[in-house]
Copies of this chain bind each other. A is one copy, B any other.
Amino acid sequence: MADHDNPLLDDRDVDFLLYDVLHAERLVELSGFAEHGRETFDLLLKTARRLAREVLYPAFKPMDEAPPKLAQGRVTVHPSMHAIYPKLVELGLLNASRPAAAGGIDLPLTISTAALAYLMAANGSAAGFVFLTTGAAHLIEAFGDEALKATYMRPMYDGTWTGTMALTEPQAGSSLSDVKTTATPTAGGHYLIRGSKTFISGGDHDLTENIVNLTLARIDGAPPGIKGVSLFVVPRRRPEGAGLVDNDVQTAGVIHKIGWRGIPSVILSFGEAGGCHGFLVGEPHKGIGYMFQMMNEARILVGVSAAATASAAYHEAVGYARVRPQGRKVGARDPAAPQIPIIEHADVRRMLLRQKAIVEGALCLSLAASRYADLAAHAATPEARKRSALLLDLLTPVAKSFAAEKGFEANALSVQVHGGYGYSSEYLPEAWLRDQKLNTIHEGTTGIQSMDLLGRKAVAGGDAALATLLEEIAEAAGRARRAGVATTWIDAVTGAGAAVAGLTAELGGYAMSGDVEKMMLHSVDYLELFSVLVIGWQWLHQAAAAREQLAGEDRGLGDFYEGKLCAAQYWISTEIPRIPALAELCRSAEDSYARMKPAWF
């Protein structure tokens, strides 16, 4: 193992992103956050950092090496997790960003997301028990009646029980309109649930006395397709009388995952004995709409998790590259001279700088998206709230898929920097690479994100969302100009913004003239170029903030800000120029895979 400490996330960087770039401290000027101040933000971050580094991170490898086991129908998790779970609950992140009515303290999501990022970087599986439970409880909070809130939401938000999202079925996968699990009404008001769900993360464990599955099912006689899917609370055990009784939820199997091996993903079978009670959340047949609230939150969190997983690996690579001697400078002639640390080689710095640009770009975007979520809920005017909601919607598929796709590349670069040692399971980079691979798949694959971005977010809403994004980019450009950022960088980003807007209008024109398939053919290329722009915008903000700090009082962080400027230069100079060729693919609707018939493979 390398002889260096891994910070997982760089504290200076998190502070920089939160305060220098995003001015998160100004959120307390909004009435919803008035009880907070930077002190409470920093206290939470400090506690989360310590918990991440001292408790979660040391358990990461042991948990990876000994995944949960299924025996006698129940799953037991790694012993470390039993020590970790109460501390995670104690940290308070389960409902910190929920209102007092839900037991929370109205902490901005911007801050709780940053805190969660530390936990995710340290041990994604352990953090998973928290964010899955929060997401499930939030659904009950948003759409459940008072009885469901009292009975289920509260014990979930206080960590007594955990929660899951039970969407996927073996025959349906991403196609939620094909959910077959059934719900039969009873005179008692509850429904009898029958069916099977798979890939249910946290769907069984021995950490808490109960597990609450937010489950999609069809009420008998419901219309086919997504308009006939309802949302139910289906607990592992249901309260009856003074206690909990078995609710006929069986664990039919455990998935042997290649990563996230500390949290079980299981196959659940509901109602094999005919005794599985489900409790309707909200109105019948509206389950998909409800679920998408959780899904959208989850997609932002996948982006955070992907950035965090890439961050841990990036810092491991930087630490390794600083201490690992190998080779000499290009052109060095004296073979007896000592070897130099590999960070001195330009190609290693290329790999590290690319990781940095991806990691810190993705993290910045995740936090910016969280800030838009805060503003969408709490900004002073309806217009401001609507505007932020529009941006959050637009950026969600980008935040999710960029961090997942490029995070995987960054994680692979961390393995590469470690050379042969990176190929050994005695070093950590390969474990993070395995963890990262999930993020392009779950909560909507990259292909699905691309269709969401182009088909629904960028085009279907008219040009409002994109126009708002261009305003934000113009604002960043103004800030960069005032701070003295190079004009070439500013022009590159604003020019790319205009090009993307023009391309989007052209693609929208294909749909207007009836050819939706032509518009959508290169949706993944569109997502790619859109992401390059969005991350370029984040780096323009970071470059501006770095210049501001360099010009202001000396905080002794000159090196840090110079690094920020280099990473911004890297992204703007090497990635933005990729946009025109990608745009041309979208515009031309290049038809190789449209023409390719299944029999031709």
Contacts and interface: CB of A to CB of B under 8 A. Distances in A.
Interface of A: 168, 171-175, 177-178, 198-199, 224-227, 255-259, 318, 321-322, 325-328, 330-331, 335-336, 339, 341, 343-353, 356, 408, 412, 415-416, 419-420, 422-426, 430, 433, 437-438, 440-442, 445-447, 450-451, 516-517, 520-521, 523-524, 559-560, 562-563, 566-567, 569-570, 573-574, 577-578, 580-581, 584-585, 590, 592-601
A592 B577 contact: no
Given A335-B226, A450-B347, A600-B562, A424 B256 contact: yes
Given A198-B420, A256-B424, A563 B601 contact: yes
A211 to B, nearest CB: 20
A423 B255 CA distance: 9
Given A225-B336, A256-B425, A352-B596, 8 more contacts: A174-B419, A175-B327, A224-B335, A318-B601, A341-B598, A408-B412, A430-B437, A573-B590
Contacts of A437: 412, 415, 423, 430, 433
A322 B596 CA distance: 14
Contacts of A585: 573-574, 577
Contact of A419 (B173, B331, B352): B173
Nearest to A345: B447
13 contacts: A173-B420, A178-B326, A178-B327, A257-B425, A318-B601, A347-B451, A347-B524, A422-B441, A559-B599, A562-B600, A563-B601, A567-B592, A581-B581
Given A174-B419, A331-B516, A422-B441, A563 B258 contact: no
A400 to B, nearest CB: 14
A551 to B, nearest CB: 18
A340 to B, nearest CB: 10
Nearest to A520: B330
Contacts of A321: 598
Contact of A175 (B326, B422, B451): B326
Nearest to A333: B225
A178 B590 contact: no
B596 A566 contact: yes
Given A347-B450, A425-B257, A573 B598 contact: no
Given A577-B581, A598-B322, A447 B347 contact: yes
Contacts of A352: 593, 596, 601
Nearest to A355: B601
A346 B517 contact: yes
Contact of A600 (B175, B255, B328, B559): B559
A257 B416 contact: no
Contacts of A599: 559
A545 to B, nearest CB: 16
| Secondary structure type dominating chain A contacts | helix
Contacts of A600: 559-560, 562-563, 566
Given A173-B420, A330-B517, A415-B437, A598 B344 contact: yes
A523 to B, nearest CB: 7
Nearest to A343: B598
Contacts of A523: 347
Contacts of A322: 598
Contact of A416 (B345, B419, B440, B517): B440
By Cβ-Cβ distance, the 10 closest A-B pairs, closest first, are A225-B335, A563-B600, A347-B447, A570-B592, A175-B327, A224-B335, A349-B593, A224-B336, A569-B592, A577-B581
Given A177-B335, A327-B174, A578-B578, A257 B423 contact: yes
Contact of A255 (B336, B346, B424, B447): B424
A397 B281 CA distance: 60
Contacts of A348: 447
A592 to B, nearest CB: 4
Nearest to A223: B335
A416 B430 contact: no
Contacts of A424: 255-258
A450 B330 CA distance: 13
Contacts of A594: 346, 349
A173 B256 CA distance: 34
A420 B350 contact: no
A438 B437 CA distance: 17
A326 B179 CA distance: 11
Contacts of A356: 601
